[in-house]
Structure 1
């Protein structure tokens, strides 16, 4: 009996141990952190396993967490949200999704910087830097995108799979990533009840951390003290000092004022009848209208920060310039399309104002259509005048030998040009409202009119007529 009781006790203890381990494993499984990945056309579980686990044969480990959504593991549809356990991820944490000009990367433990390429995968402790007039966007596996400005350097330092970067120099713009600097920690407040944060962190020359918040709330932590920066405010933490009290972001440049300044410009030369020019307030004119040099002296502005992007959210920035004077600005050649721009003031203390309202402009580099029906190439003109006529696109300005001529509503034009004896060149130029120019040239020759002889002209007719009269009289 005693022996049987001992065996029963051992069985009970063993059962309880197994049950405890099972319950513990279940609890751990329930606490598994998952990230959601949106399925795109051509995606498979094998592909996700190769990307995130670096082994396509491990797809069942992903399927395990998606059985309710995915009935057929060999068929997943676009727009599905596939869950991937964070604990299974290898140490790669981000990809480079945008590069402009000179961007460099450095692998963990190495000293040499190499040229970055699009879609390059970054791992924990890797570094990425941008040089002058350059930028880079990196996308974390969870979807967070960090945008680096020029002359910036960051190291990727995940903390328990949290999206974290260390900013050593320059500036970055982020939404949910934690930012470490030499003087502070920047933590965005993530909550379903709060707006998704949008903030910029900048390192000043003296290692001060400057944080500007455009949406949501962000905490700035330094020397054991925490300051919450609300939307539309900014704060800074100097090295070895607690964060300063948040202050409102400076107001953006007044573009309406620029428009008023433009209206004060001297009137354009008057045009002749039927000659109408439509005035357009473009990007360059607006910058001039801001009277930046005067504001710079009065308000202590260091430079004007200009951004041009191909999208209104400014995810695809094609120009990011800091101008000390308006005369510095020369817009780079851009492909045809619609672009968006905004500007802000950056002051001597590195504080930056809010951005101005987003404005847009269109780039069209295709020259207008231009047809010259008269004269024809190498035509010989037996006169000292030639008629020039043709057709162009509606709204264009046409010049013939540098002289502007009238164009009707259908784009038709006509003029007369005086020629010199011998070879002449007729140059017809059409310019559209975007400044695109089409040119057609005609090489022609002005020749002497052919002199008609007496017998080759009316003389022979007169002679025949006289002979007929004489013959009739005789008969």
Structure 2
């Protein structure tokens, strides 16, 4: 009897849970709602393209609404703000973005927004963007995305087999840029949008074309060209972008050794006649997701003396006013902490006890510096060296010193007795 009662009680409990699940909606708890969390963002789970979201309760639009994009990646501090929400929230990777959603990155942070598998926008640090509407392109009979760039820097690609357009509102100037890709025939569009310190906005086209319209003026920006829209909304005539610099030093896969204090790493590249400045970027990864240094310089060189042990990647781009050209090829170098003295082995070849000289031979770590009785001795590529040592009458002590590139020192000494 007890088993039957227990079984019936369990069935009743499960039935009540089922009824509650049907008639009562699920969502955020009271604590989350009081903290200002957006219920609509919580319901945007990742999914295949195209993305759709269920409209929030009270939305009169009806049916499933297509989302414009998805937040594909975040690095460090990235926040989002949903439609009609005042407070910013921690952005979740995979969340779907609908019109009027905003995404913001903090210092040394970044985010990737994907509008389709081959259309994406990379946000740099301290950037803010607002997603705009998803509308029908009457010419190409396809969906066209748009967004409003408020602040920061953005690098985008518009790809795929078919021709596409992508609309961007440039800052608060009211200017609108339409990016056009060429599909399989003419290739993808690649561009960069930068909001400058004087509140102007620069659009650089690395591939593809764009049209920028403001105050009745339309400017066509072709490949390897740029235009800058002033804060008042006037676009400048297109200008040619600087060419990509060629990195000269250090050599690829160079290694900088140090013992206690980090070494000075000197970076250099060729000077560009058409550029009035350069931007150096150093990161911990070849995709430049984890950027450590992003510095503007006026000369084709840069020195940094506070890099910890690790592998680093760097690139340089030329700048002309606000416009920035394509970056150079990516190069790699290492910083290694070395506390081990170099290996040092010696041998002598006698000239006889009556001679005032002896032949000293040895081998040490390649690239080290060798001193015999305080005098520098050259090495070959294998670290081998030899020299004649002048001897005094009686017992001579020959001291040999090897110093590696990190500053570690190895000493060896030999005795030679000469009678002459």
TM-score (norm 2): 0.55
Distance 1:159 1:417 in 2: 86
Out of 105, 121, 124, the residue aligned to residue 146 of structure 1 is 121
Structure 2 residue matching 1:154: 3-state secondary structure: strand
1:93 CA displacement: 3.6
- Seen in structure 2, the aligned counterparts of structure 1 residues 319 and 397 have a Cα distance that, compared at 3 Å, is same
Correspondence 1:371-450 to 2 at 5 A: 371-373=343-345, 391-394=363-366, 396-400=367-371, 403-413=375-385, 427-431=401-405, 437=406, 439-441=408-410
Deviations 1:412-462 (A, max 9, x none): 3467799xx9xx99753123xxxxx3624459899xx9xxxxxxxxxxxxx
Name 1:17's counterpart in structure 2.
none
1:361 CA displacement: 5.0
Out of 69, 94, 101, the residue aligned to residue 70 of structure 2 is 94
Out of 252, 255, 269, the residue aligned to residue 286 of structure 1 is 269
Correspondence 1:302-313 to 2 at 5 A: 303-308=277-282
Name 2:102's counterpart in structure 1.
126
1:198 CA displacement: 0.9
Structure 2 residue matching 1:189: 3-state secondary structure: strand
Distance 1:163 1:425 in 2: 75
1:184, 1:209 within 8 Å by CA — same for their partners in 2? no
Unaligned regions of 5+ residues in structure 1, if any? Answer: 1-50, 56-61, 63-82, 260-281, 376-386, 432-436, 450-475
Distance 1:335 1:179 in 2: 41
**Greater Cα radius of gyration, structure 1 or 2:** 1
Deviations 1:108-145 (A, max 9, x none): 3244576x78x4746441321343xx351313262333
Name 2:255's counterpart in structure 1.
none
1:223, 1:240 within 8 Å by CA — same for their partners in 2? no
1:217, 1:228 within 8 Å by CA — same for their partners in 2? yes
2:194, 2:201 within 8 Å by CA — same for their partners in 1? yes
1:227, 1:243 within 8 Å by CA — same for their partners in 2? yes
1:205 CA displacement: 4.5
1:85 CA displacement: 4.3
1:197 CA displacement: 0.8
Distance 2:302 2:316 in 1: 17
- Seen in structure 2, the aligned counterparts of structure 1 residues 110 and 331 have a Cα distance that, compared at 3 Å, is farther
1:172, 1:201 within 8 Å by CA — same for their partners in 2? yes
- Seen in structure 2, the aligned counterparts of structure 1 residues 106 and 361 have a Cα distance that, compared at 3 Å, is closer
Structure with the larger helix share:
1
Name 2:7's counterpart in structure 1.
none
Alignment of 1:186 onto 2:177: yes
Alignment of 1:248 onto 2:239: yes
- Seen in structure 2, the aligned counterparts of structure 1 residues 417 and 162 have a Cα distance that, compared at 3 Å, is farther
Alignment of 1:166 onto 2:142: no
Distance 1:155 1:146 in 2: 12
Instruction: Provide the alpha-carbon RMSD of the alignment.
Output: 5.1
Structure 2 residue matching 1:358: 3-state secondary structure: coil
Deviations 1:73-115 (A, max 9, x none): xxxxxxxxxx64434688594336353xx7442433244576x
Structure 1 residue matching 2:336: 3-state secondary structure: coil
Structure 2 residue matching 1:333: 3-state secondary structure: coil
Distance 2:103 2:198 in 1: 22
TM-score (norm 1): 0.50
Alignment of 1:137 onto 2:102: no
1:309, 1:341 within 8 Å by CA — same for their partners in 2? no
Out of 185, 209, 214, the residue aligned to residue 222 of structure 1 is 214
Structure 2 residue matching 1:407: 3-state secondary structure: coil
Out of 47, 71, 79, the residue aligned to residue 105 of structure 1 is 79
Distance 1:325 1:122 in 2: 43
Correspondence 1:16-27 to 2 at 5 A: none
2:400, 2:412 within 8 Å by CA — same for their partners in 1? yes
Deviations 1:143-188 (A, max 9, x none): 3332234443223445358554321122211123532232222221
1:372, 1:389 within 8 Å by CA — same for their partners in 2? no
Distance 2:328 2:45 in 1: 45
Structure 1 residue matching 2:408: 3-state secondary structure: strand
Name 1:360's counterpart in structure 2.
331
Out of 230, 235, 239, the residue aligned to residue 227 of structure 2 is 235
- Seen in structure 2, the aligned counterparts of structure 1 residues 121 and 323 have a Cα distance that, compared at 3 Å, is farther
Distance 2:197 2:217 in 1: 23
- Seen in structure 2, the aligned counterparts of structure 1 residues 196 and 317 have a Cα distance that, compared at 3 Å, is farther
- Seen in structure 2, the aligned counterparts of structure 1 residues 190 and 255 have a Cα distance that, compared at 3 Å, is closer
How many residue pairs get aligned? The number is 313
Deviations 1:264-288 (A, max 9, x none): xxxxxxxxxxxxxxxxxx963437x
1:217 CA displacement: 0.9
Alignment of 1:342 onto 2:316: yes
